[in-house]
Amino acid sequence: MAGFLANFYGQIVKRNTTFLASIFIGAFATELAFETGANGIWDQINKGRQWKDIKQRYMEADE
């Protein structure tokens, strides 16, 4: 654990550029993960009630 932390410190935190870059990349990844997860939960709760779920019924009848 300590070895891993020391390695992490030396690789990323010690230089400000890499630290800042990793913060921004982390923020981007976190936002992506959060939004995907939140949308997944929403779709799960509203399964069968959204337009994309019932779309094919009306599209087939139309064409």
Partner 1 sequence: MSLTQAASTLVRHSARQPLPALRHASAASVQQQRRHRADASTSHAQFKSPFHRGQQDSPDTTVIPSFKKYRGGSETGNKMFSYFMVGAFGGLSAMGAKDTVQNFLVNMSASADVLAQAKVEVDLAAIPEGKNVIIKWRGKPVFIRHRTSDEIKEAEGTDWQKLRDPQPDSARVKKPEWLIMLGVCTHLGCVPIGESGDFGGWFCPCHGSHYDISGRARKGPAPLNLEVPEYDFPEETNLIIG
By CB under 8 A, name the binding residues for partner 1.
1-2, 5-6, 8-9, 13, 19, 22-24, 26-27, 30-31
- Token pair, residue 4, equals 């891993």
Q: Which is nearer to partner 1, 29 or 54 (CB)?
A: 29
Q: Which is nearer to partner 1, 27 or 38 (CB)?
A: 27
- 14-51 exposure pattern, b = at least 16 Cβ within 10 A, e = fewer: eeeeeeeeeeeeeeeeeeeeeeeeeeeeeeeeeeeeee
Q: How far is the CB of 11 from partner 1 (least distance, A)?
A: 12
Q: Which is nearer to partner 1, 3 or 48 (CB)?
A: 3
